[in-house]
């Protein structure tokens, strides 16, 4: 909503209010200031009266004007075509400086002396008004040749755009904003009344009959005959200030009046509707709940929604039927949405609650039409629909104070509400009966009233008061998960990973290409924003690969990223994962490594993951998707349970993402968060390491051996730990390999003797022999 | 005796000293030979001879140990010196990553509210109409629904457009009093320089008995919170509108880049909008079946906090996994 200071001043006296105060108050009362511009006219730009105008002897397009600039008449050569129609103009005198540092000097144009410039609006730094020079009229104040234009307050105006929230239909007008200001500034809101200068003695009823159903709307009609319709300078200037450039006069007038009053208005071509010189209208509540205006069975408009072009008044209409209307916003919104009706730009206002005072709206419209036009109104008007009666609610002062939380004096509350148009009646000492004015259609309960008080009283004036809290442990499982996840993320950072944050969306085609599941068709996103984000992700890894690819483009040689977040399955169920990618150099070439960079390998990737999620085992697995290398990939197993997988990135995928050697892993988040730990007692006796070298089949994985030893370990309480120490194969071993395993043995009760040690080792060998045919090397 | 002493002291390294040790103290050394003479000494003199010889041995040993210490020190010095390297060549590569500034900001905001006895709650990203709109006083056809352009699914569900549905879930699952925050990802169909289709919010809700929780309480906590996060800034409350709160206010802080004078970041207003808040609308309580309660709620965008606090200029870069950005937070 754009307002100008001088326009507001038609409703409220702002003479002692600076622009700065005005802006501050706007923000304080909930009309957020979006932009502000003060238009100043340069000095020595004055009102000029053209007293003579003749063609330039040597130039077709130039005119030589004699201009009274107060006390003297100067000659000015002007190139604008419309100067011939002009009487009053803006003259930049010699010595004035126009915007853009344009200095006006004495000049000769094709041999004719010119002492100044007749200005267009844009040359003065104003919004564009019309082609050619600006033609002034008395609408900005009494015109006096030689008077500085800057001294006309309606001319040099301040323009403020305020942002209106969806509940503030009441402020979509100059008067609506002025009404708020009057409450905030404790100033009177001027009343408005207008009587057209020319009324024909013919009563409107002779030319118009309107019948109506019981409708949730109110309409008023008036008829005017038009000899000439022309907006005045001020109307055009203000429309330009509020950013509108409207082609024809009738629409300018309607728009100007609507902006000022907030009342939805329309104009019809009387002759297109009339039969035998008379128009009859029928305002009906349609079975689809639209309120329709019909004329002889023809639909001419839907109240608050749209109008048929065929019957619309134009600048050529000789007689115009004017309509101002109000319809209840909830009603019209439901109706339009339910029936999918086409609506025009007035619907925006009727749906947010336009000004219900249609009589006032008609007054404003009539004044706008009469401002500069030659028109005659028929006597009287025709109204249909009931006046919107104020809603009544009773509120307890204590409840109101409790919502706000600060003591505001009762009479202060009462004054604020009265100044906003509320009827306030005390029922008893602590209860008010309120009549809510019809324009405040959004106000239905005590909290809405509290908002009105708070806005006008000023939040700045409310004393902040910390809550008193009853202590309670509020550390939820969600919080515990956040803390655990934070620890995990800190560990990832500690081993060199950067935390990425990518969209929960994915490119469906990519997911499918790499063999990931996708959402079932019936559960899919209906309105994705771009093709690259056209579904929900079912893995974090593809997002991380895309991020890695971007980093390659940024020139990064070592890329180490992780992300924790939500992924979805085909049923669109959510689960949380954490994914890692390690690509390119593990360390860059430098003095430290004799200028040879080291590229990441499985060992360093696995070690880095261990630094984040702790100890785990790897189990050879079938590739689950085509990101995985068929031979360098594994299930990640912890306590016998798979918690995720890792892989070298398939070289052809690496090529697609322009990556060097790359490793990826994705874990189920919950299974890598820390678990409760029960400590085991420590032994006071020395531990012994014993190495066992056995010959087994080459294809035998360590994991299968480990599983067997693990099981065996349960029955041997002095066998504490084991890990693969060395692996060896040569021709003499054929399709066998030699595997050395180191065992750690310890007892809680005694220092181990040779017999105990050899006993365990013997039994290990037996187990390995019976399971895998392992022979001592 | 003196000759032996000077022999010890003339050694220049530990190897030489070892040879001398054998020569003097060894089984066939000088001292052994002297002690061997003891058996030929008359008994009367034996005691004195032995004593004098022992004294000599002790004295010589002292000289030896002292010189040995000295040589060891020299050898250690030489060894240390031989190990000298140019330490300034090292230290250019830190094996440390960094947390994402938005996620880190989320953690810091959680810390503040947990310290003020708020619980942390969560909910799913895919929501139904009731939790995301209806229960939050956003009935169908309400013009305010247009404020949030929504991603819909084929089965009528949607990606949550704010973290507010977690309020509804929490209220449906528990009884007042409630003090909760809900951090998480939210989605709106908007993609340009200053909007991403996903971003993060933190939602707060406090519910107590009727008359217990007020706008003044909200003003107190949010003012303190913003001072905690942004330091010495001015805080301004502006009346505003949200369907789920009434009265509502947006909260601004004075622009930290221009100190309120007006700059590009604050669109020359001197103020930066950082929070939305208000007293919970009675229709919200009605939707979850609460009676005779009062409450306040607030919500903020975490990306915005991170961008303002760390001076990150480009919102979209936060979703790129761009290491050039992330390594600045190392």
**A484: distance to nearest CA of chain B, Å?**
12
Q: Could you tell me if A356 and A499 lie in one domain?
A: no
Residues of B in contact with A529 (CB under 8 A): 151, 189-191, 197
Cβ of A499 within 8 Å of Cβ of B99? The answer is yes
- Top mean-pLDDT range of A79-88, A513-522, B31-40: A513-522
Tokens coding B180 = 């909760």
The nearest alpha carbon in chain A to B273 belongs to: A32
Task: Give the mean pLDDT of A265-287.
Answer: 93
Measured in angstroms, the CA of A350 and the nearest CA of chain B are apart by 12
B90 located within any domain: no
Q: Name the residue among B117, B221, B282 with its Cβ closest to that of A445.
A: B282
* B65 & B120 share domain: no
- Whether residue B119 and residue A474 make contact (CB cut-off 8 A), yes or no, is yes
- Direct distance between the N- and C-terminal alpha carbons of chain A, in angstroms, rounded to an integer: 91
CA end-to-end span of chain B: 69
Instruction: Report the residue from B100, B140, B214 with minimal CB separation from A405.
Output: B214
Tell me whether residues B321 and A551 touch, CB distance under 8 A.
Answer: yes
CB contact under 8 Å between B219 and A465, yes or no, is yes
Express each pLDDT in A162-212 by its tens digit. 999 888 899 999 999 999 999 999 999 999 888 888 888 888 999 999 999
Average pLDDT of every residue of chain A? 93
Looking at residue B120, its pLDDT comes to: 97
Q: How far is CA A125 from the centre of its chain?
A: 32
Question: Encoding tokens for residue B52?
Answer: 């004098």
To the nearest whole Å, the CA of A585 is away from the closest chain B CA by: 12
- Is pLDDT of B91 > 80? no
Q: What is the CATH number of the domain that holds A19?
A: 3.30.56.10
Identify the domain boundary among B18, B51, B84. B84
**Is cis: bond before B247, omega within 30 of 0?**
yes
pLDDT at residue number B144: 64
CA-based angle A242:A247:A248, to the nearest 5?
A: 110
- B179 plus B55 within the same structural domain: no
Per-residue pLDDT tens digits for B209-239: 999 999 999 999 999 999 999 999 999 999 9
Q: Are B188 and B149 in contact (CB under 8 A)?
A: yes
- Show the domain range for B277: 101-329
A145, A193, A120, A128: which is closest to A46 by C-alpha?
A145
Chain A residue with the nearest C-alpha to that of B122: A478
B109 and B80 in a common domain: no
The percent of chain B in helix, strand and coil, each rounded to the nearest 5, is 45, 20, 30
**Is A54 buried (19+), middle (13-18) or exposed (0-12) by CB count in 10 A?**
exposed
Q: What is the pLDDT of residue B43?
A: 82
| Residues A372 and A401 grouped into a single domain | no
Which whole number is the average pLDDT over A732-743? 92
Cα–Cα distance, A295 to A273 (Å, whole number)? 7
Whether the CB-CB separation of B125 and A574 falls below 8 Å is answered with yes
Q: Are residue A494 and residue A572 in the same domain, yes or no?
A: yes
> Contact A417/A424 with Cβ under 8 angstroms?
yes
Q: Is A720 exposed, middle or buried (0-12, 13-18, 19+ CB in 10 A)?
A: middle
| Residue A137 and residue A233 in contact, taking contact as beta carbons nearer than 8 Å | yes
Please tell me whether residues A376 and A323 are part of one structural domain: yes
What is the spatial distance between Cα A98 and Cα A91, in angstroms, rounded to a whole number?
A: 11
Instruction: Look at A503 and B319 and tell me if their CB atoms are within 8 Å.
Output: yes
Nearest to A462 among B215, B281, B294 (CB): B215
pLDDT at A538: 98
Are residue B48 and residue B160 in the same domain, yes or no?
A: no
Q: Tens of pLDDT along B131-186?
A: 999 999 988 777 667 666 899 999 999 999 999 999 999 999 999 999 999 999 99
Cβ distance B326 to B117 under 8 Å?
no
Length of chain A: 777
Phi, psi of A553 (to 5 degrees): -65, -30
CA distance A489 to chain B (A): 7
- Asked if residues A209 and A384 have their Cβ atoms less than 8 Å apart, the reply is no
Does one domain contain both A284 and A320? yes
- Band (B193; pLDDT cuts 50, 70, 90): confident
pLDDT band at B262 (very low <50, low <70, confident <90, very high): confident
Is there a contact between B198 and A503 if contact means CB atoms under 8 Å apart?
A: yes
Give a yes or no: residue A467 inside a domain: no
Provide the pLDDT for residue A135. 92
Rounded to the nearest angstrom, the minimum Cα separation between B124 and chain A is 7
Q: Is residue B95 part of a domain?
A: no
What b/e readout covers B200-227, taking b as 16+ CB neighbours within 10 angstroms?
bbbbbbbbbeeebbbbbbbbbbbbebbe
Domain edge (last residue) among B84, B109, B136: B84
Residue A660 has pLDDT above 90, yes or no: yes
**Which tokens is B181 given?**
């925050």
Q: What pLDDT, on the 0 to 100 scale, is given for residue A362?
A: 96
Average pLDDT over residues A14-20: 95
Number of domains, chain B: 2
| Distance in angstroms (rounded) separating the CA atoms of residues A529 and A303 | 35
Chain A contacts of B125, Cβ < 8 Å? 504, 566, 574
User: Which pLDDT does position A597 carry in this prediction?
Assistant: 87
Residue whose pair of structure tokens reads 């032995």 in the numeric block: B50
Tell me if A533 and B197 make a contact (CB, 8 A cut-off).
yes
- The whole-angstrom separation of Cα B122 and Cα A477 is 10
In the predicted structure, residue B1 carries a pLDDT above the cut 80: no
Question: Does residue B257 form part of some domain?
Answer: yes
Q: Are residues B234 and B134 in the same domain?
A: yes
pLDDT digits (tens, 9 = 90+) for A132-171: 899 999 999 999 999 999 999 888 899 999 999 888 899 9
Tell me, yes or no, whether A24 and A50 share the same domain: no
Please give the Cα distance from A127 to A120 (Å, whole number).
10
Please name the residue of chain A whose CA is at the shortest distance from the CA of residue B95: A496
Residue A777 reports pLDDT greater than 90: no
Domain's final residue, options B28, B57, B84: B84
Query: DSSP class of residue A204?
Result: G
- Whole-number pLDDT of residue B41: 84
Query: Does the residue A681 lie in any domain?
Result: no
What is the nearest CA distance from A283 to chain B, expressed in angstroms?
25
| A interface test, pick of B85, B215, B269, B292 with most A CB neighbours within 10 Å | B215
- Closest Cα in chain A to B189: A529
User: Does B89 map to a domain?
Assistant: no
List pLDDT tens digits, range B292-307: 999 999 999 999 999 9
Residue A742's domain spans which residues? 688-776
pLDDT value, residue B143: 62
Confidence (pLDDT) at A339:
85
Contact B99 A493 (CB under 8 A): yes
CB atoms within 10 A of CB B188: 20
pLDDT tens digits, A434-449:
999 999 988 999 999 9
A271 within 8 A of A318, measured Cβ to Cβ: yes
Average of pLDDT values for B95-111?
96
- Cα(A489)–Cα(A259) distance, integer angstroms: 56
Polymer length in residues for chain B:
330
Would the CB atoms of B114 and A475 count as touching at under 8 Å? yes
Cβ-defined contact of B196 to A503 (cutoff 8 Å): yes
Q: Which residue has the tokens 């239909």?
A: A169
Per-residue CA distances from A503 to A107, A275, A521, A566 (Å): 65, 65, 20, 10
- Considering the domain architecture, whether residues B203 and B64 belong to the same structural domain is answered as no
A27 occurs within a structural domain: yes
A169 and A211 in a common domain:
no
User: Which of A141-145, A562-566, A656-660 shows the lowest mean pLDDT across its residues?
Assistant: A141-145
Does residue A506 contact residue A546 with C-beta atoms inside 8 Å?
A: no
Share of chain A above pLDDT 70, in %: 100
pLDDT beyond 80 at A398 = yes
CATH number of the domain at B204, please: 3.30.930.10
CB pairs < 8 Å spanning A and B: 257
Same domain, A139 and A205: no
Mean pLDDT confidence for B72-94: 87
User: A496 contacts in B (CB within 8 Å)?
Assistant: 95-97
Kindly state whether residues B190 and B300 are assigned to the same domain: yes
User: Are residues A213 and A121 part of one domain?
Assistant: no
A-interface mutation test, from B321, B322, B329, B330, most A Cβ less than 10 A away: B321
On the question of pLDDT at B285 being above 70, the answer is yes
Note whether B132 and B11 are same-domain residues: no
- Cross-chain CB nearest to A500 (options B117, B141, B321): B321
Q: Domain containing A71 — which CATH number?
A: 2.40.50.140
Contacts of A497 in chain B (CB under 8 A): 97
Are B164 and B241 found together in one domain?
Answer: yes
A220: pLDDT strictly greater than 80: yes
**Among B59, B60, B55, CA closest to B20:** B60
How far away is chain A from the Cα of B161, in angstroms, using its nearest Cα?
14
Q: Please compute Rg for chain A using Cα positions.
A: 42
Same domain, A563 and A619: yes
- B96 occurs within a structural domain: no
| Residue A464 placed within a domain | no
| B72 & B141 share domain | no
Residue B125 lies in a domain: yes
Name the strand (E) or helix (H) holding A609: helix A602-613
Cα–Cα distance for residue pair A425/B329, rounded to 1 Å: 61
Residues A255 and A364 grouped into a single domain: yes
Same domain for A706 and A607: no
**Number of domains chain A contains:** 6
In a domain, B149, yes or no: yes
pLDDT at A219: 96
Q: Is the pLDDT of residue A61 over 70?
A: yes
Rounded-to-integer distance, Cα A47 and Cα A87, Å: 10
Closest chain B residue to the Cα of A567, Cα to Cα = B125
B240 lies in the same domain as B146: yes
Q: What is the pLDDT of residues A352-380, one digit of tens each?
A: 899 999 999 999 999 999 988 889 999 99
Distance from CA of A23 to the nearest CA of B (A): 11
Please say which residue of A351, A384, A417 terminates a domain. Answer: A384
């Amino acid at each position: 909503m754009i307002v100008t200071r001088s326009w507001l001043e038609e409703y409220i006296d702002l003479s002692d209010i600076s622009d700065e105060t005005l802006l501050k108050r706007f923000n304080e009362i909930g009309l957020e200031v979006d932009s502000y511009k003060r238009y100043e006219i340069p000095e020595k730009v004055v009102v000029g009266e053209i007293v003579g105008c003749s063609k330039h002897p040597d130039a077709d397009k130039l005119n030589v004007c004699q201009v009274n600039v107060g006390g003297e008449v100067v000659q000015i050569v002007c190139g604008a075509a419309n100067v011939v129609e002009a009487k009053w103009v803006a003259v930049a005198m010699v010595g004035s400086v126009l915007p853009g540092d344009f200095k006006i000097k004495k000049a000769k144009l094709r041999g004719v002396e010119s002492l100044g410039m007749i200005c267009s609006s844009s040359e003065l730094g104003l919004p564009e008004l019309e082609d050619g020079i600006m033609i002034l009229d008395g609408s900005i104040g009494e015109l006096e040749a030689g008077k500085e234009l800057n001294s006309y307050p309606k001319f040099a105006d301040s323009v403020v755009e305020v942002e209106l929230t969806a509940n503030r239909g009441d402020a979509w007008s100059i008067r609506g904003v002025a009404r708020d200001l009057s409450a905030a500034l404790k100033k009177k809101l001027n009343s408005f009344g207008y009587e057209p200068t020319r009324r024909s003695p013919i009563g409107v009823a002779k030319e118009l009959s309107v019948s109506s159903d019981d409708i949730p709307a109110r309409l008023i009609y008036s008829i005017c005959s038009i000899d000439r319709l022309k907006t005045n300078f001020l109307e055009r200037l203000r429309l330009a200030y509020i950013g509108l450039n409207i082609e024809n006069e009738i629409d300018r007038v309607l728009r100007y009046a609507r902006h000022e009053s907030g009342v939805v208005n329309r104009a019809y071509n009387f002759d297109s509707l009339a039969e035998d010189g008379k128009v009859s209208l029928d305002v009906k509540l349609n079975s689809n709940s639209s309120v329709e205006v019909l004329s002889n069975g023809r639909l001419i408009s839907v109240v608050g929604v749209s109008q048929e072009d065929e019957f619309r008044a134009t600048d050529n209409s000789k007689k115009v039927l004017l309509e101002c209307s109000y319809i209840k916003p909830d009603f019209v919104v439901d109706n339009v949405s339910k029936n999918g009706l086409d609506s025009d730009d007035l619907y925006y206002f009727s749906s947010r609650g336009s000004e219900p005072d249609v009589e006032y709206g008609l007054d404003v419209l009539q004044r706008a039409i009469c401002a500069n036009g030659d028109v005659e109104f028929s006597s009287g008007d025709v109204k249909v629909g009931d006046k919107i009666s104020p809603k009544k609610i009773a509120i307890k002062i204590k409840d109101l104070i409790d919502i706000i939380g600060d003591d505001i004096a009762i009479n202060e509350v009462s004054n604020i509400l009265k100044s906003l148009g509320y009827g306030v009646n005390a029922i008893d000492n602590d209860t008010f009966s309120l009549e809510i004015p019809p324009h405040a259609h959004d106000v239905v309960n005590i909290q809405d009233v509290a908002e009105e008080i708070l806005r006008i009283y000023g939040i700045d004036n409310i004393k902040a008061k910390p809550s008193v809290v009853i202590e309670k442990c509020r550390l939820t499982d969600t919080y515990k998960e956040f803390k655990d996840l934070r620890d995990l993320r800190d560990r990832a950072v500690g081993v060199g990973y950067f935390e990425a944050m990518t969209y929960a969306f994915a490119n469906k085609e990519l997911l499918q290409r790499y063999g990931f599941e996708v959402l079932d068709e019936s559960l899919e996103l209906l309105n994705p924003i771009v093709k690259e984000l056209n579904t929900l992700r079912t893995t974090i890894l593809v997002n991380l690969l895309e991020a890695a690819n971007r980093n390659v483009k940024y020139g990064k040689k070592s890329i180490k990223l992780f992300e924790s977040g939500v992924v979805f399955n085909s049923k669109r169920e959510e689960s949380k994962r954490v994914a890692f990618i390690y690509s390119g150099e593990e360390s860059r070439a430098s003095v430290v490594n004799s200028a040879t960079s080291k590229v990441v390998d499985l060992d360093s990737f696995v070690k880095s993951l261990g630094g984040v999620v702790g100890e785990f085992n790897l189990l050879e697995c079938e590739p689950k998707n085509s990101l995985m290398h068929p031979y360098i990939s594994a299930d990640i197993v912890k306590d016998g349970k798979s918690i995720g997988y890792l892989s070298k990135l398939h070289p052809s995928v690496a090529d697609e993402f322009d990556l060097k050697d790359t490793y990826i892993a994705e874990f189920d988040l919950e299974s890598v968060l820390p678990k409760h730990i029960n400590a085991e007692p420590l032994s006071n006796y020395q531990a012994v390491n014993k190495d066992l070298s056995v010959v087994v089949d080459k294809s035998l994985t360590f994991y299968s051996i480990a599983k067997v030893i693990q099981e065996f370990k349960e029955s041997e309480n002095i066998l504490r730990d084991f890990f693969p120490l060395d692996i060896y194969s040569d021709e003499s071993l054929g399709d066998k390999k030699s595997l050395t395993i180191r065992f750690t043995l310890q007892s809680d009760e005694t220092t181990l003797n040779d017999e105990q040690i050899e006993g365990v080792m013997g039994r290990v060998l037996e187990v390995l022999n019976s399971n895998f045919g392992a022979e001592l090397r | 005796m003196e000759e032996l002493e000077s022999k010890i002291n003339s050694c220049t390294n530990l190897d030489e000293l070892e040879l001398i040790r054998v020569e003097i103290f060894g089984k066939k050394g000088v001292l052994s030979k002297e002690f061997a003479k003891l058996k030929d000494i008359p008994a009367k003199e034996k005691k004195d001879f032995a004593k004098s010889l022992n004294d000599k041995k002790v004295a010589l040993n002292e000289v030896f140990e002292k010189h040995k210490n000295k040589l060891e020190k020299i050898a250690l010095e030489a060894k240390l010196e031989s190990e000298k390297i140019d330490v300034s060549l090292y230290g250019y590569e830190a094996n440390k990553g960094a947390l994402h500034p938005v996620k880190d900001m989320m953690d810091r905001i959680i810390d503040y509210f947990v310290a003020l006895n708020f619980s942390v709650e969560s909910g799913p990203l895919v929501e139904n109409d009731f939790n995301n709109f209806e229960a939050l006083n956003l009935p169908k056809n309400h013009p305010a629904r247009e404020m949030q352009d929504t991603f819909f699914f084929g089965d009528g569900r949607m990606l949550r457009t704010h973290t507010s549905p977690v309020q509804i879930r929490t209220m449906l699952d528990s009884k007042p009093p409630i003090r909760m925050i809900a951090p998480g990802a939210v989605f709106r169909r908007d993609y340009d320089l200053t909007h991403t289709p996903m971003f993060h919010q933190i939602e707060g809700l406090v519910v107590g008995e009727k008359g217990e929780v007020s706008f003044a309480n909200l003003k107190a906590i949010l003012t303190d919170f913003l001072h905690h996060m942004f330091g010495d800034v001015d805080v301004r409350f502006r009346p505003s509108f949200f369907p789920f709160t009434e009265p509502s206010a947006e909260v601004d802080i004075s622009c930290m880049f221009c100190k309120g004078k007006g700059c590009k970041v604050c669109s020359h207003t001197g103020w930066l909008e950082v929070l939305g808040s208000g007293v919970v609308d009675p229709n919200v309580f009605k939707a979850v079946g609460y009676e005779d309660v009062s409450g306040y709620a607030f919500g903020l965008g975490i990306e915005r906090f991170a961008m303002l606090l760390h001076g990150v200029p480009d919102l979209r870069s936060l979703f790129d996994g761009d290491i050039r950005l992330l390594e600045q937070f190392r």
